[in-house]
Amino acid sequence: MNTFLPFTRPTIDDDTIADVIAVLRSGWITSGPKVQALEQALGAYLGGERIIRTMTSATGGLEMALRAFGVQPGDEVIVPALSFAASANVVVRTGATPVFVDVDLRSRNATAQAMAAAITPRTRVLMPVHFSGLACNMDAILTLAQTHGLRVLEDAAHAIGTRYQGRLIGSFGDVASFSFHANKNMTTVEGGALSFADQTLTQAIDQERFHGIRKDTAGNIDVVSAGGKYNLTDVAAAVGIGQLRRLDEFNQTRRALAHHYFSRLSAHLEPDQLPATGDDGHSWHMFAILLPWTQLGFSRDIFIQKMKDQNIGIGIHYPCIPGLTYYRQQGFNPAAYPNAQQIGAQTVTLPLFPAMTVADVDRVCDALLGLIQ
C-alpha cells in the first residue's frame, strides 16, 4: 500500500531544525534578532529597496496595510470573488465594504478591466490576488490605480518568489502581503510579511503591529492608537530564514512537477479545466483543476473520498467568496460572478510540494484518470 500523499507538506531541513533549537536555548524566543535577520534577508531577496515588516499572518498584514492606508467605514475595496475568505474579511474588519469582481476562468485572477468597471467614488484600494502563484497583470492594475488615485494592496499570499515580467512580486508596486503559513511555498509555521516602499506607512504599520506603541529616544513608551498584536517570534523567524535559503530551489521543483501534471492531463481535460500555464515566473503554489461533477455522475465529496481511499489527499481552493454564508447574508449573490462560482463548485487541488517526485505526480494522475474516464 502506498503511503499517504497529502495535497501539500512543508520541507524543513536539519539545519533549520538546529537553528530553531538554538533559538529555544538562547533564552530569547519572541521578536528579536532572528526577526530582524529574516526581514533583512527578505529585503535583500526582493532587491534591497523595499521596507519589510513580518507578522503573525498574511491576514494580519492585509488588515494592517488597509488601516495604514486610512481605510474606514464608507470606503470600498475591490476584491476578487475567488480567493481565500481572508481577502474580503480584512476589508469588513476595517468597516469598509468589499466590492467583488469576477475572475478569469483560466488564470483565476481578476483583471484590470474588471476592476475598472467596479470603481466608484468610494473606492480606496484595489486588491489583486496572485492566485496559486500566477502574477496578475500588474502594469495594467498599477496604471488603473494611478489614473484614479487609488492604493494597491497585493494579496501575494501564494506568490513569494513569483516573478512578473522578470521582477519579483513585492519588489515593486505599492504594498504586497506574503503568507508563510505551513502550506505555502516557504513557511514560518504561521506568519507573513509586508513589502512596501512608502515610508509614510511605516509608523502606522509598526504601531498597528504592536499595541499602538510609540517609543521615544530614551525608550519610554506611549500608546497613540488601539493597535493590535501581530509580531512574529524569533522561533518562527528561524524557520523562515532556513526556508528562504531554499525558496528558489523549492519553486523550481514546483514548476517541474506542474509541467509534468500538464504533460499527463492535457490530453484528457479541456483547456478551461486546467489552470493557466503561466511562464517561468509562476511559483506554482497550487495545481487546481476543474471537474464537471454532473457530467461525471458523482460529487466532489465522493471524488475526494475515492482519492483518499488510494492514499491521496485533495484540497479545495476555493469556494466563491460571495457564496459563503456570511457574504450571502450581506446580500451578495454568487451568480453575479459566474467564473468564480464555476471554479468554486468544480475545483479540486492536486498534491504539489517540493518533496514530491515525478512518480508521485504519475500516481495522482493515474488515480484521477481512473475515476473520471
Q: Which residues are catalytic?
A: 184
- d(C-alpha 291, C-alpha 268), whole Å: 11
Kindly state the DSSP code that residue 21 receives in the 8-state scheme.
H
Task: List, in order, residues 6 or more apart from 297 with CB less than 8 Å away.
Answer: none
Nearest to residue 286, comparing CAs of 184, 155, 372? 184
> Using an 8 Å Cβ cutoff, are 107 and 131 in contact?
yes
Task: List, in order, residues 6 or more apart from 213 with CB less than 8 Å away.
Answer: 207, 221, 222, 223, 224, 227
**Residue type at 130 in one-letter notation:** H
Kindly state the DSSP code that residue 336 receives in the 8-state scheme.
G
Q: Count how many residues are written for the chain.
A: 373
Kindly state the DSSP code that residue 283 receives in the 8-state scheme.
-
- d(C-alpha 245, C-alpha 186), whole Å: 10
